[in-house]
Structure 1
Amino acid sequence: MSLSNSLQLSLIQLQNNNFNGRIPPNLGSLQHLRILLLYGNQLEAREPLDWSFLTSLNNCTILEVLQIDQNNLRGLLPKSIANISVTLQILTMATNSIEGSIPPEFGNIVCLTTINLGFNHFSGRIPASIGLLKNLHTLELYFNNFSGEIPSTIGNLSQLNELYIEFNSFSGSIPVSLGHCKSLVGLNLAYNSLTGMIPKEVISISSLGIGLIFEENLLTDTIPLEVGSLVNVGILSLSGNKLSGEIPKSLGKCHLLQILHLGRNFFEGSIPTSLSALRGLQELDLSQNNLSGKIPTFLGDFPGLHNLNLSFNNFEGEVPRKGVFVNKSGISVLGNDKLCGGIRFCIYLFVHFQVLRRFISLLNWQ
C-alpha cells in the first residue's frame, strides 16, 4: 500500500513474478505514472471492491500503458474503465476470468493502439463506438462470449493491423466495411456463427500476410475470385463452412501461401492446375467435399508439403507415387472409392503377393 507514497514514480514494472493479493486501491495517487506492468502474477480480484484500483487509476492523467493480463482477476469489469486516461495507448487484460461487457464510452480512449481482452468471460456486443479508436493497431477479443453482429464501424479503423475475435458467438454477416482496413496483416474470425457470403472487399486485402482465417462458421456461396489479391498471405483457412462451387483458379496467385484449409465444405469440380504455382505449400486440406477428377501429380513436386488431406471426395485414377505421397503418415485419401495405385497400394500388393507365393510353395512341397 505504501508504494503510492512514492509520488514521483512514472514506471512500475513488476511483471512475471509471484505477487498475490489485491492490487492496491490507492495507485491513483501517482500523478506521474505512465506505465503500470503487473501481468504474469497471481493478483486477485473477486469482489467489486477489489476493482477499486481501476477506478483510482482514473486520476493518473498521463497513464500510457496498463497491462494486468495473466492474473486471477474475476468478476465484472467496472464501467469506470471508460474514464481512464485518454492518453492510454496499451491496455491488456487477457487470460483472467473477467466478466461484463465493453461500455460504449470505451470509444473515448482515443489514443489506444493495442487492446487485448482475450481468454476471459466477456459478453455482450462490441459497441459501435469502437470505430472511434482511429489509432488502434491491434484488437484481440478471442475466447470470450461476445455475441451479436460485428459492428460496421470497425471499418473506420484504417490503421488496424491485427483483428483476432475467434472463439466467440458473433452472428450475422462479415461487414463489407472491414475491407476499408487496408493495413490488416492478420484477420481471424474463426469459430463463430457468421453467415452469408465472404465479401470480396475483405478477401482482397492485399496487406494480409499472417493469415485470413474464417473456419468453423456458417458462410455460404463461393470463394470470390478476388482471393487472388492475397499475394502475401501465409495462411488461408475456410474449413468447416457451407461454401460451394469450384476452387477458384485465382488462388494460384497466392504465391506465399503455406497453409490452405478448405475442408468440410461443398466444393466441387477438380483441383485447378493453377495451384501448381503454390510451391511453398506445407499443408493442404481439401477433405470432405465433392471434388472429383484425378489427383494432380504436381502435388508430389512441392518440396515442403508434409500434410495432405484429400479424404472423402470423389477423386479417381492412380495416386501419385512421389513427394508427400511417399509419406504414409502425411497423406489421407480415405473415402475415395475410385482411386487406385500409389505407394501404399503397391505395398499392399507386395505383401499379399509374398503370402500367396508362400502358400503356393507349401502346396508344391506337399
Structure 2
Amino acid sequence: MVSAFASQNLILMAFLQLLVVFILLFGSLLMRLVESVTPSRRMIVGNETDRLALLEFKKQKYDDPYGALSSWNDSIHFCNWVGITCSHRHRQRVISLDLQGKGLGGNISPSIGNLTFLHSLDIGNNTFHGKIPQEISNLIRLQYITLRNNTLQGEIPTSLANCTGLRRIYFSYNNLVGKIPIELFTSLSKLEEIYIFSNGLTGEIPASFGNISSVRVISLGENELQGSIPESFGQLTNLFFLSLHLNNLSGKFPLSLHNLSSLETISLAINHLHGSLPRDIGLTLPNLKFLAIARNLFSGRIPNFISNISTIKLIDLTENSFVGPVPNNLENLQNLQKFSIDGNQCGIGEADDLGFVNSLVNCTNLEILGIAENGFKGPLPNFKANLSTRLSQLILGRNQISGTIPTRIGNLFNLAALGLEGNFLEGNIPSVVGKLQKLQILLLNENRLSGQIPSSIGNLTLLYKLNLQKNSLNGSIPSSIGNCQQLQYLSLFNNSLQGPIPKQLFLISSLSIFLNLSSNSLVGSLPIEIGNLKSLSGIDISKNRLSGEIPYSIGDCNGLESLYMGREVPTKGIFGNASAIFMNGNDKLCGGIAELHLPACTNHGSTKREKSNALKIVLMIIGVAFGFLLMSSFLTLYWIRRSNSKPPSTPLIGERSLNLSYKDLFQTTGGFSSANFIGSGSFGSVYKGIINQDETIVAVKVLNLQNSRLYKSFTAECKALRNIRHRNLVKILTSCSSIDSKGKDFKAFVYEFMPNGSLDDWMHLPVEANNHSRSLTILQRLNIAIDVASALDYLHHNCYAPIVHCDLKPSNVLLNRDMTAHVSDFGLARLLLEPNDKSSQTQTSTIGIKGSIGYAASGYYT
C-alpha cells in the first residue's frame, strides 16, 4: 500500500514537472496570442494617456480651415489620426506629431508634455500664438522640434534644457522675446542645428554656446541681439553655417572663427561689427561659399588671398569702409555668382582702377557685379566677349569713371539692370544698347553724354525705368520710345532736347510713377494723347518752349497727384474739383474754375472757352430748375459733399521709392503684435504700423501663404494695383515679396491707413469700444454710394485696361478720417483685355461664384 502511494506521488510529481516545462515552452506564445485578441489592461492605460493628451491638444484649436483634426475622434484608433505616428517598439505610443502647414490656430496645449515618447514635434507654418508651454520639458526623448512660422510670443522656456536629446530647434518667424537661455547650452550636448531667426530676441549671445561641439548650424539673424560674437565660437569645429545678420552686434569678428575650415556660410550683414579681413582668409577658410558682411564698419583692404577660395559663390561687402585697389586675380573664382562692394572707398585714383573687372573673365557664373559709390577712376574696360554672359546686374554708378561707353557692352545680352549714373562719361549713347533686350533698368543720368538718344532704345521692350537726366543730350525724343510699353518711370530732365514731344510717348499706358521732361527746349503743343496716361502719378514739363492750350484730355489722368507746367488750367475732369488739386508755386497759370481764383486768360481761345463754359452753366441751371422736384435732394447732397471734401488727413508717402523688407515691416507693426492687429480673413492678417521716417500710419496686409491660392491672388492684386490710381481706391504704398535663407516665402501689401475701418463695421457693429454709437446718416450713406460708384466707373471705363473687382462687399469698402469711401482688396480682380489682345486667347474662364464663403454679392456672377 505504501508502495502504491509512493508510486502515485511519483506520477504526480512527473505531471507537475511536465506542466512546468509546457508553461516554459509555450507560455509566452499563449500570452502573445491572448494579447492579439484582447489588449492588456496595462497597455490600455498607457495608450489612454496619449489619446487624452491629443484630444486636449485638439480642444485648444480655434481654427482648423482644412479639417486636419477632423479625424481625431474615437471612430478610428488615434495611431491612425492625421499627423500621428506610433512606435513599433513601444506599441501604440506616439513618437511623432506632424501638423506643419495645416492652417491651425490657437494656443499650444500644456498636454503636449504628456506625450512622453515623442521624438519629433512639427507644428510649423500655422498660426499658433501664446507662449511655448513649460510642460514641454517632459519630452525627454524629443530630438526635433519645429515651431517656425507661427505667432508665438513670450520667452524661450528654460525648461527646454531638460530635453537633453534635442538635435534640432526650429523657432524662426515668431514673436519670441527676451534673452537666449544660458541653460540650453549647458545641457543640450547633442544639439546640431538651432534656427531662431526673425524674432525679437534681445541680450547677448551666451558664450556657453561654444561648449556644444556638435553644433553645425547657428541661425539667429533678424533679431535685436547685442554685444559681441563670442570668441568661444571658435571651438565649434563642426560649424558650417553662421547667420547673425540684422542685429545690433558690435565688436570685432572673432579671429578664432577664421580657423574653422568647415565654415561655408558667414552672414553678418547689417550690424555694427568692425575690423578687417585677415590676409590669409583664402587659406584658413578654403570651403567658404557665402561671405555676406554688408552694412557694417569693416575696413582695410580686400585681401589678395580671397582669390584662393575657389568654392566662393557670393561676396557681399557693401557699405563698409574698405579701401585700396580690388585684387585683379579673381579669375580663379569660377563659382562666383555675386560680387558687390558698393558703398566703400575702393580705388586708388589711377587709370587702371577697373582692371580687376577683366580679371573676372573666367567667372562664367557671375550674375551680379556691383561696385557703385566708390572712388574708381579711369575708363570703363572694353568688356571682353567672354565676360559672363549670365551677368544680369552691372552697377557702376557714383564713381569717377571717365571715357565713353564701350560698344562691347552689347555682348552682355542678359543684362536686366545697367547703372552708370553719376560718373564723367562722355560721347554718345551707343546704339548697341538696343541689343540689351532683357534690360529693365537703365541709369545713365548725371554724366556728360551728348548726341541724340538712339532710336534703338525702342528695342528695350522690358524697360520700366529709364533715367537720362542731367546730361547734354540733344536732338528730338525718338518716337520709337513708344515701343517701351512696360515703362513706368522716365526722366529726361535738364538736357538740350529739341522738337515736339512725340505722341507715341503718351501711348505708354504703363507710365505711372513719374514723367519728367523739364528743363529742355521742347516746342509745340502738348499732345491730346496725354489723356491715355490714366495711371500717371506725376508729370513735369516745365521750363520748355511749349505753347498752346493744355489739352482737356489731361483731365482723364485720374491718378495724377503732381503736375508741373506753365500757361492755362483746364476745367474738366479732375480739374473741376478745387479741393482735389493744388496750384502752389505756379504764378503764371490762368483760367480754370472760379474756385481756384486764378487770373483770366486773355487769348482768344480762352474767351471762347469762357463763353462756352458760361453757356454750359446756364443750361445746367435750367436743367436743374426743370428737374428740381425729382432731383433736388440728390443734387444738394452731392454738391455739399463736393464742397466739403478735403485731402486725406493721413500723411502719405512722398514721391520717393518705398522699399520695405520683412524686418522693416516687423518693426513697423511692433512685431506683428496683437496691439496692432486690425483684422484677419482667409487671405491672412492686417496690422497697423508706423513708418519711422515720417511717422506715416499704414496698414500692412500679410498673406497666409499656406493657402496656395493666395500666390495667384498676390499676382492678381499686384497686376491690378500696379497702374491704377483713384481718389476712391485704397492707395497701395508698396509690396513686399521676400524669401528667407531656407527658401520660405513672405508676401505682404502696405496700404494707406483708413482710420474709420470698413463699411461692414459701421453696418454691423453698432457700438464702439468707447460706447459711442456707430451709425451712418443719410448724407454719409449717399456719399459712400457715390464714392464706390466713382471707383467702379474708373475701374470699368477709365482705367488703363478694364478691371472687374470680383469681390465688392462692405468689408472691402474702407473709410478714411473724413468718411470718404475707398474700395480695397483686389485679390480676385480680373483684367478684361481687348478682343485683339493676344493674351485674350489664353484667358481661362472665370464663370462661377467668387468672393467670401457664405456671402456672394451680385457682382460675382459677372
TM-score w.r.t. the length of structure 2 is 0.34
Task: Describe how 1:253-264 pairs up with structure 2 within 5 A.
Answer: 253-263=556-566
Choose the corresponding residue for 1:118, options 421, 427, 432.
Answer: 421
**Aligned-residue offset at 1:62:** 1.3
Structure 2 partner of 1:183: 486
- Indicate the structure (1 or 2) with the bigger Cα radius of gyration: 2
User: Is it true that 1:159 corresponds to 2:462 in the alignment?
Assistant: yes
Counterpart among 567, 571, 575 of residue 272 in structure 1: 571
* 2:287 aligned with 1:287: no
Gap regions ≥5 residues in structure 2: 1-303, 607-643, 647-862
1:39 aligned residue: 342
Q: Secondary structure at the match of 1:107?
A: helix
Instruction: After superposition, give the CA deviation of every residue in 1:68-110 in whole Å (9 maximum; x if it has no partner).
Output: 0011111222223665211100011111111111111111100
* Partner Cα distance (1:280, 1:133) in 2: 45
Determine which of 360, 363, 368 is the counterpart of 1:65. 368
Name the structure with the higher strand share: 1
Please point out which of 296, 300, 314 is paired with 2:593. Answer: 296
For residue 276 of structure 1, what is the amino acid of its counterpart?
Answer: F
* Distance in structure 2 (CA, Å) of the matches to 1:82 and 1:285: 53
- Kindly indicate whether residue 521 of structure 2 is the aligned counterpart of residue 224 of structure 1: no
Evaluate the alpha carbon distance shift between residue 65 and residue 191 of structure 1 in structure 2; reply closer, same or farther with a 3 A threshold. same
Tell me which of 67, 71, 85 is aligned to 2:388. 85
Three-state SS of the structure 1 residue aligned to 2:413 is coil
* Cα distance change, pair 323–68 in 1 and its aligned pair in 2 (3 A): same
Correspondence list, 1:273-352, <5 A: 273-276=572-575, 283-284=582-583, 287=586, 289=588, 292-293=590-591, 296-299=593-596
1:9 is paired with a residue whose SS is coil
Q: Does 1:206 align with 2:536?
A: no
Deviation at 1:279, TM superposition (A): 7.8
Q: Distance in 2 between matches of 1:261 and 1:236?
A: 6
SS state of the match for residue 177, structure 1? Answer: helix
SS at match of 2:548: strand
Distance (whole Å) between structure 1 residues aligned to residue 577 and residue 482 of structure 2 = 25
Query: Relative to 1, partners in 2 of residues 1:53 and 1:213: Cα closer, same or farther, differing over 3 Å?
Result: same
Contact 1:261 1:286 in 2 (8 A): no
Q: Matched residues in 2 for 1:75 and 1:118: separation?
A: 15
Q: 1:169 aligns with which of 448, 469, 472?
A: 472
Separation (CA, whole Å) in 1 of partners of 2:579 and 2:347: 47
CA separation of 1:277 and 1:210: change in aligned 2, threshold 3 A: farther
CA distance 1:129–1:313, change in 2 (3 Å): same
The answer on whether the counterparts of 1:45 and 1:75 sit within 8 Å (CA) in structure 2 is: no
Cα distance in 2, alignment partners of residues 277 and 62 from structure 1: 57
TM superposition shift of 1:205? 1.0
Return the alpha-carbon distance in structure 2 between the equivalents of residues 313 and 144 of structure 1: 40
1:112–1:280 Cα change, 3 Å:
farther
TM-score (norm 1): 0.77
d(CA) in 1 for partners of 2:320, 2:408: 33
* Cα distance in 2 between the residues matched to 1:107 and 1:24: 26
Counterpart in the other structure of 2:453: 150
* 1:20 and 2:317 aligned: no
Query: Which region of structure 1 is more displaced relative to structure 2, 55-64 or 107-116?
Result: 55-64
Say if 1:180 and 1:6 are closer, same or farther in 2 by CA, change over 3 A: same
Deviations 1:99-157 (A, max 9, x none): 11111111110000001111111111111111111100000111111110000000011
Distance 1:101 1:297, change over 3 A: same
Deviation at 1:311, TM superposition (A): 9.3
Letter of the aligned partner of 2:328 in structure 1?
Answer: P
* 3-state SS of paired residue (1:245): coil
Superposition map of 1:188-199 within 5 A: 188-199=491-502
TM-superposed deviation, 1:284: 3.8
The answer to whether residue 430 in structure 2 is matched with residue 127 in structure 1 is yes
Shift of 1:28: 1.7
User: Which of 103, 121, 125 matches 2:406?
Assistant: 103
- Identity among equivalent positions (%) equals 39
1:221 & 1:155 partners in 2: Cα distance? Answer: 23
User: 1:152-208 CA deviation, whole Å, 9 max, x = no partner?
Assistant: 000011111110110001000000000000000001111000000101001221100
Q: State the 1:50 CA deviation.
A: 2.9
Give the CA deviation at 1:242: 0.2
Following TM superposition, by how much is the alpha carbon of 1:55 offset from its aligned partner in structure 2, in angstroms?
Answer: 1.2
User: What is the root-mean-square deviation in Å for CA atoms of aligned residues?
Assistant: 2.7
Mapped contact 2:506–2:529 kept (Cα < 8 A): yes
For residue 359 of structure 1, what is the aligned residue in structure 2?
none
- Decide whether aligned partners of structure 1 residues 312 and 74 sit closer, same or farther in structure 2, where only a CA change above 3 A counts: farther
Residues 129 and 285 (structure 1), Cα distance of their counterparts in 2 relative to 1, 3 Å cut: farther
Deviation of 1:313 after TM superposition, in Å, equals 7.8
Please list the CA deviations of residues 242-276 of structure 1 after superposition, one character each: whole Å capped at 9, or x if unmatched: 0000011000000110110003xxx45x5433342
| CA distance in 2: counterparts of 1:95 and 1:237, whole angstroms | 25
Larger helix fraction of residues: 2
Count residues in correspondence.
305
3-state SS of paired residue (1:80)? coil
SS at match of 1:58: coil
Shift of 1:57: 1.0
SS of corresponding position for 2:360: helix
Q: Does the Cα contact within 8 Å between 2:498 and 2:523 map onto a contact in 1? A: yes
Indicate if the aligned counterparts of 2:378 and 2:402 stay in contact, CA closer than 8 A: yes
Is the 1:196–1:221 Cα contact (8 Å) retained in structure 2?
yes
Q: Which amino acid aligns with 1:234?
A: S
Which residue identity lines up with residue 296 of structure 1 in the other structure? I
Whether contact under 8 Å (2:342, 2:371) holds in the other structure is: yes
Distance in 2 (CA, whole Å) between partners of 1:239 and 1:102 is 30
> Contact 1:120–1:144 (CA<8 Å) still a contact in 2?
yes
What's the secondary structure of 1:71's corresponding residue?
coil
Task: Give the equivalent residue in structure 2 for 1:247.
Answer: 550
> Any idea what SS the aligned residue of 1:193 has?
coil
User: Looking at both structures, which has the greater relative contact order when contacts are Cα pairs under 8 Å and sequence separation is at least 6?
Assistant: 1
Q: Distance in 1 between matches of 2:341 and 2:558?
A: 42
Structure 1: tracts of 5 or more residues without a match: 301-309, 316-321, 325-366
Pick from 342, 357, 361: which aligns with 1:54? 357
Q: Supply the distance in 1 between the matched residues of 2:342 and 2:579 (Cα, whole angstroms).
A: 38
AA aligned to 2:572 is T
Instruction: Report what 1:363 is aligned to.
Output: none
Compared with structure 1, are the counterparts of its residues 244 and 126 closer, same or farther at alpha carbon in structure 2 (3 Å cutoff)? same
Q: Is the 8 A contact 1:249 1:275 kept in 2?
A: no
- Output the amino acid matched with 2:522: L
Cα 1:102–1:280 change in 2 (3 A) is farther
Q: State the Cα distance separating 1:215 from its structure 2 match.
A: 0.3
Q: Quick one: distance in 1 between partners of 2:573 and 2:473?
A: 34
Partner SS state of residue 504, structure 2 = coil
